[in-house]
């Protein structure tokens, strides 16, 4: 009897030890999982993504046929678009809508306008108008060079904030507008979801901590004289980094049921890093020149300082990261700085010359 009781006590103690060990293992496993979740936390984009008046960027479109598929969604992924080639850029600039010919149609909005790489005032390709009210980004309408103005009766929601992996929403939109005297009606639904995060590998370098946002637009256009409405399905994948005001890269596929046909387009964004700070950009008397350009091994950066002045020369890659700041001196006269770019990844760079007076001059450098 004593032996049985003693044995029962031993078994009880062993069970307690086993339970303690099991609980300890569970605690260790939980801590490991918690650390993993902390290290792999998805980025969150906020209203900092909204466009700012005065900011601008170069949009480098990928040639037709070179556009890759956007790839799968998920956590901690790497999307490799390093093989994309780049065409001549278009300009994307943001200004107050009150400064455009469409101020009365789109009050209290920000206008994004696109023009070709020549940067001529007459070369505008069109406007898009956005509202940043209500902790969201909403598209109010568009206007193009053919004087077609689309003013959404029910605006199109682009993003809501905060937005992170797993966030999603659905929104309806509609518009009625005139094209060459014909009244066109358009109505549809937009579904937006953050379906992945991770790292981008691009022609100009690697960008980490990006959130991929997948937007699906399904809409119908009714046009007088057409026997049937036109039905569109558009898939757009935008990769955002939390501290940038534009997508880093965008890939769009649009299908219309007329043929049917599918068109895929993509663009990279090259930001001017001086957008973020306060220097005054004055390229009207730009003495900054770069040759050879494009370059493969070295390039010469030349500029003229008419009077004794302190000057700094910085080179930024296309994602706004500083890659070189070798020149920082007080000098006068013509300067020639030889830049070794043999170790730079191929892509587009921005060379920024800043003087003590706060004047900033910029030039683009293409490394092949």
| Torsion angle in degrees (nearest 10) through CA of 160, 162, 163, 166 | -120
Phi, then psi, of 347 in degrees rounded to 5: 155, -165
pLDDT at 315: 86
- Flag whether pLDDT at 9 surpasses 50: no
Band of the pLDDT at 327, cuts 50, 70, 90? Answer: confident
Predicted confidence at residue 318, as pLDDT, reads 61
Give residue 300's Cα distance to chain centre: 31
Count of other CB atoms within 10 angstroms of residue 338: 9
Backbone angles phi, psi at 73, to 5 degrees: -95, 170
* pLDDT for 131: 93
| pTM exceeds 0.85 for this model | no
CA distances to 68, 72, 77, 236, 249 from 256, rounded to whole Å, are: 20, 23, 31, 15, 23
Give the tens place of pLDDT for each residue, 246-302.
788 888 888 888 766 677 777 776 544 333 332 333 334 567 888 888 888 999 998
Q: d(Cα 44, Cα 194) in Å, to the nearest integer?
A: 10
What length is written for the chain? 368
- Has residue 41 got a pLDDT over 80? yes
What backbone torsions phi and psi does residue 82 show, to the nearest 5 degrees?
-70, -20
Lowest mean pLDDT among 61-75, 90-104, 260-274, 290-304: 260-274
Q: Which of 76-90, 128-142, 196-210, 273-287 has the highest mean pLDDT?
A: 128-142
Weakest mean pLDDT among 69-83, 141-155, 172-186, 340-354: 340-354
153-201 pLDDT tens trace:
999 999 999 999 999 999 999 999 988 788 999 999 999 999 999 998 8
């Amino acid at each position: 009897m004593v032996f049985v009781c003693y044995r029962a006590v031993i078994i009880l103690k062993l069970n307690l030890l086993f339970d303690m060990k099991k609980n300890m293992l569970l605690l260790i496993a939980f801590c490991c999982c918690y650390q993993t979740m902390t290290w792999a936390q998805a980025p969150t984009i906020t209203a900092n993504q909204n466009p700012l008046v005065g900011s601008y960027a170069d949009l480098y479109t990928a040639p037709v046929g070179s556009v890759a598929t956007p790839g799968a969604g998920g956590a901690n992924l790497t999307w490799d678009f390093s093989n994309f080639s780049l065409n001549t850029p278009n300009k994307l600039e943001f200004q107050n809508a009150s400064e455009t010919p469409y101020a009365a149609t789109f009050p209290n909005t920000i206008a994004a306008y696109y023009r070709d790489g020549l940067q001529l005032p007459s070369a505008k390709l069109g406007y898009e108008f956005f509202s940043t009210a209500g902790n969201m980004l909403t598209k109010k309408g568009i206007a193009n060079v053919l004087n077609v103005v689309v003013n959404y009766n029910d605006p199109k929601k682009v993003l809501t904030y905060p937005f992170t992996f797993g966030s999603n929403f659905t929104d309806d939109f509609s518009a009625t507008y005139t094209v060459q005297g014909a009244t066109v009606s358009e109505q549809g639904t937009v579904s937006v979801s953050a379906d992945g995060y991770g790292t981008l590998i691009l022609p100009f370098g690697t960008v980490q901590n990006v959130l991929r946002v997948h937007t699906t637009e399904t809409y119908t256009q009714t046009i007088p004289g057409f026997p049937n409405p036109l039905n569109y399905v558009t898939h757009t994948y935008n990769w955002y980094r939390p501290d940038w005001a534009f997508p880093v890269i965008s890939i769009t596929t649009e299908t219309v049921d007329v043929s049917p046909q599918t068109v895929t387009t993509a663009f990279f964004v090259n930001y001017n890093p001086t957008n973020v700070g306060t220097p005054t950009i004055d390229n009207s008397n730009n003495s900054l020149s770069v040759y050879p350009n494009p370059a493969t091994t070295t390039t010469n950066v030349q500029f003229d300082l008419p009077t004794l002045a302190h000057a700094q020369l910085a080179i930024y890659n296309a994602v706004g990261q500083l890659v070189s700041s070798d020149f920082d001196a007080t000098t006068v006269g013509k300067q020639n700085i030889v830049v070794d770019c043999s170790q730079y990844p191929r892509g587009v760079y921005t060379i920024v010359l800043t003087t003590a007076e706060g004047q900033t001059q910029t030039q683009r450098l293409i490394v092949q």
